[in-house]
A and B are shown apart, each in its own frame.
Chain A
């Protein structure tokens, strides 16, 4: 594998993107211009639908009954959601669908004839909940968003729904930049950005001069990530680029202050057995890490050696203990002396989830 790219300054790669004056256009102007139009999340749609309290109550009772009928079936089947969790999701669906979520007490209302403004018509609400339960469509795709850290990110089919575990990578980056001003104001990369979660999370903690380049191979992901970046008004700080891993970063070799990634890490033959929400609905491209799940992690780790500048920070999410140890081993042997202060860090469930390190000076 060759890591020799023509050198360039990182402003040159950001400039065409960051000087973009028209916020309506997607920022992904580099390789392929994506024609995909991101879906608007339910909670941001205009409240143009109306329904009576009586009809809503009817829908709600139907939806609740559907929830109860699930019990622990999904949980026993493939570690899917149980009825407690689905009940909570139903509450959130109601919150997202109502124009005024603070007044969601239609269940207690005695005024059956009063009319409520909704962001989706009643038929859609029936359809949404049916998809959730009967097709096991992920709740986040149903409402079109995922709450992640303090962000609400738009997601849709074709984009991996960011996981709670991945939130901690932002904390790890935060710890690193708190100790080092150079990292805070440097150029960062989020490879395989998906919805743009890590790039946005990091973009919000960097200093005034800090920038992030987010890359993804999937045009849908690039379009959704760009939309999310704009929603948080970070288009001056974050450039979203389409391409495989380091490909869009050719101009900034050796200039990255930091690199993070949550690459696909599930071993190929595990995919079919995953819970239905993942296996049937989420993009395989974002999940399948090859025979042992390590293909992309190893590729990224080797590439990071060339992309990071001395003292640069790297953080990867892995499948757990085996992969983390394998990766650390790889860093110690294959990229000998390139990294120091290499650590394995556990997530809140106790899994050895993250590998972090610094490029040697």
Chain B
């Protein structure tokens, strides 16, 4: 943006401030702060509505939440927001808001149509969707609670708790700022286009058009990202597949499911390592654990938790009868360093050599060095046999054990927190989530979303994204705008 334009904009804005009753002189004082002068989004564009009485003058700081959103130093505003219902709405110079754009119902054309209203409308829709996915109202509410807690002077008496609070606050604040920045950018572009038209500046107009188009493309990706906004969604994870009852046929099915995830993970560019594998006697696997390494691995894979059902003519049945088999899938996030993990007491562990036979030591030359580690107080155990040394197998089994215990702890805490109970029962380990029918017709259908495809082979080759994304968006988008 050229200096000339900035100047023009500023002139326009400053005339506005005196005419518009919506704008608060409190903000005016902050103009003397040099950083606002250079800010790409002049603070003047924001108007603050609150329900009922707005600010009352007190000396101890403005709501820290609002301060952070708008980069307002707390000391600069001697007002305190009383209502927790604060809604911050931004608008263009002539009062157009993002909700207003949606309400206008401008037709959305393809991206290659250079119609600014179409772009603006598409972007506004995306912002709306992102807000819905982030559960906007809850997010703001949670942020207020967290901000209050952060302001407590005794917070850091419990550093673990404090770390958790400040991390969650930081993460939610980041999301909120990002959405606000989108809103600001959208409205700014619109302001610019209007201004350019007034001034017959076609160069500026096309520049802003382009800006809108870039934004429109970019925000589509953000829609997807907002699907993966859960606390641990960015983590790597373990995927575990266990054969249901039914012998060889279901063990074969379990290994098909495992292959499906390995191929899916490879397609997505995740690193895949087999940690633990218990082969079936004849074919397939009794159970197996893979480690899927990469950003958002858990966020995607968590949609797969549950029982997967296969219907086919079993190749293991000499009478060629139709069989139904089940395989259960569990997904465990691998928590990053920032999260508090369950402390494991070494004396609580029992470490055994897996499949130990014979006297060992110099008697045996074996590349088999698997171990099983059992956490005695909980009975949770983990094993690994695919590493090439016992030391590495032990480390790997320990990592699985740690993540299992972390997940148990997370579940325990979630049960205490009523808000989360619902979502956890939604994805029960045992509940049947999807059917793969190979005979008498061919279809894969997700029972949660009713999403279905008629080509099971490609699904079994790892083409799962359709199922995953439809589940993620269904579970986040199903509530009507209640959370907005």
Contacts and interface: CB of A to CB of B under 8 A. Distances in A.
Nearest to A96: B388
Contact of B365 (A84, A278, A320, A351): A278
Contact of B362 (A81, A149, A160): A160
Nearest to B271: A102
Contacts of A351: 359-361
Interface string A232-270: 000000000000000000000000000000101110001
- Say what secondary structure dominates the interface of chain B: loop
Interface stretch (A16-24, A26-34, A161-169): A161-169
Interface string B342-382: 00000000011100111111111111110100000000000
Contacts of B266: 105
Interface stretch (B51-59, B105-113, B389-397, B398-406): B389-397
A81 B351 CA distance: 23
B364 A79 contact: yes
Nearest to B259: A108
A150 B389 contact: yes
A358 interface: no
B126 interface: no
Contacts of B362: 160, 163, 262, 264-266, 278, 286-287, 319
Contacts of B359: 319-320, 351
Interface in B268-285: 279
B342 to A, nearest CB: 23
B386 interface: yes
A115 interface: no
B367 A320 contact: no
Contacts of B385: 88
A147 interface: yes
Contacts of A79: 357-358, 364
A266 B358 CA distance: 14
A148 B391 contact: yes
- Choose among B356, B358, B366, B368 the residue with the greatest number of A CB atoms under 10 Å from its CB: B366
Contacts of A138: 365
A361 B289 CA distance: 51
A88 B367 contact: yes
- Size range of the interface on B? 20 to 34
A262 B263 CA distance: 44
Contact of B389 (A85, A167, A262): A167
Interface in B389-426: 389-392
Nearest to B352: A348
A317 B361 CA distance: 9
A149 B371 contact: no
A163 B356 CA distance: 14
- Choose among B266, B357, B363 the residue with the greatest number of A CB atoms under 10 Å from its CB: B363
B279 A84 contact: yes
A353 interface: yes
A348 B364 contact: no
A347 B390 CA distance: 12
B365 A275 contact: yes
A146 B367 CA distance: 9
B35 to A, nearest CB: 47
A148 B389 CA distance: 5
B352 A350 contact: yes
- Size range of the interface on A? 35 or more
Nearest to A89: B367
A291 interface: no
A350 B351 CA distance: 10
Interface string A73-96: 000000101001100110010000
A44 interface: no
Contact of A139 (B360, B367, B390, B391): B367
B363 A274 contact: yes
A153 B392 CA distance: 14
Contact of A81 (B360, B366, B386, B388): B366
Interface string A286-320: 11000000000000000000000000000001111
Contact of B360 (A92, A165, A282): A165
Contact of B353 (A147, A278, A347): A347
A195 interface: no
A278 B392 contact: no
A226 interface: no
A164 B371 CA distance: 11
Given A347-B353, A348-B352, A266 B391 contact: no
A270 B389 CA distance: 26
Contacts of B352: 348-350
B365 A277 contact: yes
Contact of B390 (A81, A88, A348): A348
Interface string B293-337: 000000000000000000000000000000000000000000000
Interface string A94-138: 000000000001001000000000000000000000000000001
Nearest to A289: B362
Contact of B361 (A85, A105, A265, A277): A265
Contacts of B365: 138, 140, 161, 163, 275, 277-278, 281-282
Contacts of B361: 163, 165, 265, 317-320, 347, 351, 353
A54 B357 CA distance: 39
29 contacts: A79-B357, A81-B367, A85-B367, A88-B367, A108-B263, A147-B387, A147-B388, A149-B391, A149-B392, A150-B391, A151-B389, A163-B360, A163-B362, A163-B364, A164-B353, A164-B366, A164-B390, A165-B360, A167-B390, A262-B362, A265-B361, A274-B363, A278-B363, A278-B365, A319-B361, A348-B371, A348-B390, A349-B352, A351-B359
Given A262-B362, A264-B362, 13 more contacts: A79-B364, A85-B366, A88-B385, A140-B367, A147-B392, A163-B360, A163-B362, A163-B365, A164-B353, A275-B365, A277-B365, A319-B361, A320-B359
